[in-house]
Amino acid sequence: MKLVFAGTPEVAVPALDALIASGRHEVAAVVTRPDAPAGRGRRLVASPVAERAEEAGIEVLKPVRPRDPDFQARLREIAPDCCPVVAYGALLPKSALDIPRHGWVNLHFSLLPAWRGAAPVQHSILAGDQVTGASTFRIEEGLDTGPVFGVLTEEIRPTDTSGDLLTRLAFAGAGLLAATMDGIEDGTLRAVAQAADGVSHAPKITVEDARIDWSAPAMRADRVVRGCTPAPGAWTLFRGERLKVVSLGLLPARTDLAPGELAAAKNNVYVGTGSHAAELLWVQPQGKKPMRAADWARGVRIAAGERLG
């Protein structure tokens, strides 16, 4: 088939690579978000998908909005059979959805209908799920509601951050998306309507969502840290300033600290929660790089009874 791939961040690059390497389909163009300011200089930078497409000599389309008439006119000229999508980042109007004869097929990082929305991986960790996965489905006007072509499952490991899990799903999902394109082309794959039960939603994680509540059980604090790493980053307050918590260790044996209360030993820093103490492993003070919590504690000289939060 002739394909137009839509995607923007680094997590979409493995799927683009898989489609380019398949040899079975032609990636005629790529659709991505416009260049965005980045770095201290705030200079405009192309998306990772745009950079990869340019390296491969593929035409890159960067509409401000997918409903732009010029973009849709160019898409009709290309006349794709199907538009595979991974984390494109913009809503597609029906006028664009109707252009390819096999529609737009999204690779979504959850087992639909669970975790429809922008942040499925983060929410699966926050919820304490033990298994997640990826799904390919035909995009409709509703939010991740379309019929499903294929799924794969992935275990959520006890120490997984959302970054760890998303990386594994990006590479496994790339194969699923390529196989879905093959099945659509040869007619062996039919999309099946999503189940009506088990629907859950995964809106974008806000900075406030990433704030740690030390009165909650230690397991909840650990999920917030892992689910919000690398972005937006779990955080708390210390002496009125924001402190990022990069990683925690769980210590069910220690119960002598009040929620948020700190205790520093020679090589360890403990913080109380609503259940039992956790160990601060890595933190990042404002304006500084991540550091071992023990080194941070030596620098700030924690006083008896001082708290986070």
Q: Which residues are annotated as a binding site for (6S)-5,6,7,8-tetrahydrofolate?
A: 110-113
Half-sphere exposure of 237 (CA within 13 A, CB side): 6
Task: Provide Rg for the chain, Cα atoms.
Answer: 22
Phi-psi region of 23 (alpha: psi -120 to 50; beta: other; left: phi over 0): left
Calpha distance 226→137 (Å, rounded): 28
Cis peptide before 66 (omega within 30 of 0): no
Secondary structure E strands in 109-193: 131-138, 148-155
Instruction: Return the half-sphere exposure (C-beta side, CA atoms, 13 A cut-off) of residue 124.
Output: 34
Binding residues: 110-113
Beta strands in 32-108 (DSSP E): 36-38, 43-45, 59-61, 83-86, 104-108
